[in-house]
Chains A and B, each alone.
Chain A
């Protein structure tokens, strides 16, 4: 049963921050509500005040500035899919958001909500990891910037203080010589929570070769938070991805990066194997495409 709640609405960042400060621990932000309302219905929300930020215009935009691409937190997954800027400069994130839920969920669900919800299976998060996103958090006392990797402390847990609002998500624009992908394995082809997901970004050392001088790999749904695959990254940089065998050899290192659990969706063993195979498949597909990103 859903309990009675006190509904508040802010139309500006300032008024939102005021409310957050006033109600301290007892207030919960509502953006698209696609995570929060489900939880409210399950009676899993402790707070008694709901602050609706969905109409704060200042929090809804996508723009480029000084080589960085900014997505304000109310950007919906659909906004992301429809943005040319994103498909050019943040295509890994775009691939991730395309796998979220269904059209209805993507129309309502926001990037900010996906991040702050802090599910290890949040699909945008692995993409944001490899795109080196940074988050601007603001409170009545000021603002701070944290990297996406520092943001999460556990499933559903972040460093966000109760009086803070996520106000900006920004990341360097992907460059011409950068490639990568996002891949997700679910129990069906839509409306599926990830059994596992993987995001990869690599910088081609020299056109026409299989060598890379930078690589970032992140896995979702295989640990309490999204995790980096540092051994894989190192191996990509220190070798050349010339053959399927070589790629498989590298992908197998993923096994040591993940610490999955067994649950109703998949067993630990399957998730372990899939962290290798999904990465392997993604790299094979990319190599078959001469490392050119999908558009």
Chain B
């Protein structure tokens, strides 16, 4: 790697001090004079017709300034990133218990809540659609008039039937995963108010301010220029703030009352009303030759998207693309159904369909390895996709492919090197058994073919000789702002403290697409580089005038433009800025725009398939299973990662640790239980996320050398792959420890215990 000043270094987070000191103002910290408090009336039933809504009593309550229903939505009463099928406020039907039926703005939160209780809604309950498979039957009650199948995608390549005939071994299993909650620290929160020039300003944390603005302009029938969305800072998102949440109602109330309105969700309302990871049922049938060559895969995926589409279609599609794992397969039949039910709403969540399929594929791989007597690493290496190969859905891999590199990297982890030592038998407590497992995964960077995928950045030159970078992405904890600062400082050859980063603001930052799909660094970074190149040209031109020389003889270094041969002849950036001010009375501003490179083909009936650039990772886990209780403790974790070159080492380690812990929660604990459309786990007393006591003391981050030439400083996106295969690494380790295969997540103590009992019964039957 070249010698860089900031790139590749563990640069501390630029927002760390403000966050640690509490200086930073989250949306819930915002208060304005005359501010009202908004509340939303949620549906009383998971599925019902609305017969009548009477708001008269609520309106009559002193201190209540506005009560709104569907009648008050000025524009399109629907939102949704792909299909706007979710009403801002329901008119004739509710489809899940978080559906918004009416909203109130009042002088205090207490009054607003009192007013909600006074709104009289008459319902006619309908049968609840809660079973994923039954929902697909033709006689099932319908969530939407068009039927319960929102999307069906099928990808077929090769001759599947023939391949199964030729297979020496066929492994067939059904895998199930549950509904994971993002569990961000800050719930959906915001303030809307009308500011100068009659601009409706929405301060609400989200992942894509410019799309929020577009969706809001449709719902509120307002010129997008009359709406400003500020979506940073935000206390966590993980995909859960990609779609709109409270914004349309918030905007509506502010327009109605002409006063600032604040809305803060409680944890309970947040869990009931907003997005979750799609639960999936995945049927796998894999055919393999005796030497371990995978020859065919038939996969059917059913995904529960809940009441509305949001990103359900793309999630199912990404699951399809990654359904076979990073393995060579020329005969595939992969199909996916995205299904409407009355089970809450599912949407975007870190991994976007891949954590589900990674669990299935990587369990299949371990089963096959065992049946054929091939070492699990060997089986994976044998089938690994390499650069130049055709991926399972048919695209040719022409960018960096790290499958083999990350598999080989396993041997570099301390966990692997010392596994024999860690796996010693517990002689004092023989009922406690240790096991080791790993799993391989990969994840596309960006949105994929067919979706607009671009990055944008604005770079402003400042009087102090520094720069302001404005990218419309959002740092929701992943540290993207720091990476932009690193890139800008490196490109502009100036100290990093001279860089100010602006994020998530439709007025101050360039539209850079959604902060999702592991694309923030890649696209925002590339756009920043282009903006910086343009800026450097301008600075050099001005410096050439000032130094009376030509641009080609100039170099930039540490805040100066200097002559290549006579470095003492130089002008500082401050001097250049002063010169601009003197001559033009303003400072130059540049932009960078970048289009994502795309794969060489397109999959029909799909959103964003396939991808062109992928990050790869192996997840490793050492577990201890208590055979008396079924409890699994993860003792150690490690990840081997191919993310191209690393822009911020410390940032990567934080991503890895956070991703591993999130994947571990997914694997062992987390499940939003919904019964007959009603939520049973509405806060962290019953929705179990790992506590610090559950987290392994050590999670190693090992990187491989595999630069991605198209990426900013040869990097690629990593935020998702770091969580996607932790669950199967753990469940494979559980098998290694106690011999039970997990086909259903989460592998709770009770599930593992029940499976152990079944195993024991089987053993007894066999010996009798």
Contact = CB atoms under 8 A, between A and B. Distances in A.
A9 B728 CA distance: 54
B113 A264 contact: no
Interface residues of B, number: 31
B428 A281 contact: no
B754 A188 contact: no
Interface in B724-761: 748-750, 753-754, 757
A192 B201 CA distance: 42
A288 B428 contact: yes
A270 B428 contact: no
B758 to A, nearest CB: 13
Contacts of B114: 1
Given A190-B694, A281-B431, A185 B629 contact: yes
Interface of A: 1, 102, 185, 187-193, 195, 264-267, 270, 273-274, 277-278, 280-281, 284-285, 288
Interface stretch (B278-286, B494-502, B685-693): B685-693
Contacts of A284: 429, 431
A69 B230 CA distance: 60
B753 A270 contact: yes
Contacts of B581: none
Given A274-B629, A277-B628, A187 B431 contact: no
A191 B691 contact: yes
B629 A264 contact: no
B760 to A, nearest CB: 12
Nearest to A288: B428
B428 to A, nearest CB: 5
Contacts of A270: 750, 753-754
Chain A interface mostly helix, strand, loop or mixed? loop
Q: Which 10 A-B pairs have the closest CB atoms?
A: A189-B693, A190-B693, A277-B628, A190-B691, A270-B750, A1-B113, A187-B688, A189-B694, A281-B628, A264-B686
B631 interface: yes
Contacts of A265: 686
A190 B689 CA distance: 11
Nearest to B631: A185
22 contacts: A1-B114, A185-B631, A187-B749, A188-B688, A188-B690, A188-B691, A188-B694, A189-B633, A189-B691, A189-B694, A190-B691, A192-B688, A193-B685, A195-B749, A264-B680, A264-B681, A264-B686, A266-B750, A270-B750, A274-B629, A274-B753, A281-B629
Nearest to B432: A281
Given A187-B688, A285-B429, A288-B429, 20 more contacts: A1-B110, A1-B114, A102-B691, A187-B748, A188-B690, A188-B691, A188-B694, A189-B694, A190-B693, A191-B684, A191-B691, A192-B688, A264-B686, A265-B686, A266-B750, A267-B750, A270-B750, A270-B753, A274-B753, A284-B429
A181 B684 CA distance: 28
Contacts of B431: 281, 284
Contact of B749 (A185, A193, A288): A185
B49 to A, nearest CB: 29
Nearest to A277: B628
Contacts of A185: 629, 631, 749
A188 B693 contact: yes
A60 to B, nearest CB: 28
Interface in B421-456: 428-429, 431
Contacts of B109: 1
B170 interface: no
B753 A273 contact: yes
A185 B753 CA distance: 13
Contacts of A192: 688, 691
Interface string B618-644: 000000001011010100000000000
